[in-house]
Amino acid sequence: MGGLFRLGRSNAKSGKEPTSASENCLPNADMGSRFKDNPNQ
């Protein structure tokens, strides 16, 4: 298990790419929901 964890940490470059996309999707959805709520209000 420790080895796998170490590999993931070493592969931060590869993990950062998918993580960035996931984080971008989260704020994107929040922004869309807020935008819809703004005009709706």
Query: How many C-alpha atoms does 12 have within 13 Å on its Cβ side?
Result: 3
How distant, in Å, are the alpha carbons of 11, 19, 29 from that of 41? 45, 33, 18
Q: Supply the pLDDT for residue 13.
A: 57
Q: Check if the beta carbon of residue 15 is closer than 8 Å to that of residue 8.
A: yes
Range of 13's domain?
Answer: 2-40
- pLDDT of the residue at 19: 53
- Number of domain units in the chain: 1
Number of Cβ within 10 Å of residue 29's Cβ equals 10
Tell if the pTM clears 0.75, that is, is over it.
no
pLDDT in tens, 1-41: 555 555 555 555 555 555 555 555 555 556 565 666 665 55
